[in-house]
Amino acid sequence: MDSSSLNFLIDSFERMVSGATSSFRSDDFDWRPAFAQAKEIQAGFSSGIRYPTKQERDVAWIRFNNLRTNLHAAANKQRDRFRSRSERVRDGILDTLRYAGYTFGDKMFDDFNILRTTAEDMKKKGETVKEAGQTLSSNKHSMLSEHKEECFTRIQRVMQEHDAFWKTYNRMREARRHESIRRRSEIASRINDNLRANTEKLERAVSAYERVEGNIESNIEKLESARSQDFAERVKEWIEQDREKLRSISGSIERLREWIAQDESRLGDLERRNS
């Protein structure tokens, strides 16, 4: 390489730097060709390429150094701008996730089977985490790796907290379900006991009703064959007493049948809730 070739590289480098520092360039400008060119020019100077005069060499060297300084300044400015944008996206994602987790304050009550956070709360928090993930995905090409990693780590930690919540929630819900089944079983047992007792009482009441009816029929026959007025009066009194008993027994039978119907209905409700 001679001085003319090196000057040609410097001219090309100047055009590259001009393009790199243009106010119209985008933040995704590829700096690698310009820095590769600068490295090649530096190697040319270091190899001892001779210029016609020392002054021409100094002018070329100063020109190259100024261009390289401008290139570094533009690259640093872009990096700062890129970092600033990356930080804004990161801060937005982290702010979104600030209240999206399952906090220590919630976990304090786990051992008491109490969840201050509801399932509906966690579903909304889940949507927030999803939104944060979508924001990260759509901005990943305009973020620094360290910021992407920070956001990704936070999202993963919040998701683990959500998993912990749902594990606790399902455990408690299952415990409540078993407790509800146990309570309904106890209620059903008491209802069955009542049913058996009331069914037996009903059977006895019906038998008593039939016996009293039989007594009335027998006493009516005695009344028809009574040979004295005194005996007839006593029989009439027996018949009236038995009819009073029938009314009382009939009321008991009606109440027992009503209680039995109510208990059978309650048992049916319990069976439907357990199915």
Q: Are 270 and 188 in contact (CB under 8 A)?
A: yes
What pLDDT score does 106 carry?
57
Number of C-beta neighbours around residue 201 at 10 A: 16
- pLDDT computed for residue 39 by the predictor: 92
C-alpha 37/C-alpha 18 separation (Å) is 14
Question: Which pLDDT score, from 0 to 100, does residue 75 have?
Answer: 84
CA distance 45 to 62: 12
Give the list of residues 6+ apart from residue 148 with CB closer than 8 angstroms, or none.
136, 140
| Residue type (1 letter), 17 | V
Q: What is the pLDDT of residue 24?
A: 45
3-state secondary structure string across the chain:
CCHHHHHHHHHHHHHHHHHHCCCCCCCCCCCHHHHHHHHHHHHHHHCCCCCCCHHHHHHHHHHHHHHHHHHHHHHHHHHHHHHHHHHHHHHHHHHHCCCCCCCHHHHCCHHHCCCCCCHHHHHHHHHHHHHHHHHHHHHHHHCCHHHHHHHHHHHHHHHHHHHHHHHHHHHHHHHHHHHHHHHHHHHHHHHHHHHHHHHHHHHHHHHHHHHHHHHHHHHHHHHHCCCCHHHHHHHHHHHHHHHHHHHHHHHHHHHHHHHHHHHHHHHHHHHHHHC
What pLDDT tens digit does each residue of the chain (275 aa) get? 788 898 899 888 888 888 766 654 555 667 788 889 889 989 988 998 889 999 999 899 999 999 999 888 888 888 888 899 999 999 999 999 988 887 655 554 555 556 677 889 899 999 999 999 999 999 998 899 999 999 999 999 999 989 988 888 888 889 888 888 889 889 999 999 999 999 999 999 999 999 999 999 998 988 888 888 888 899 899 999 999 999 999 999 999 999 999 999 998 888 887 76
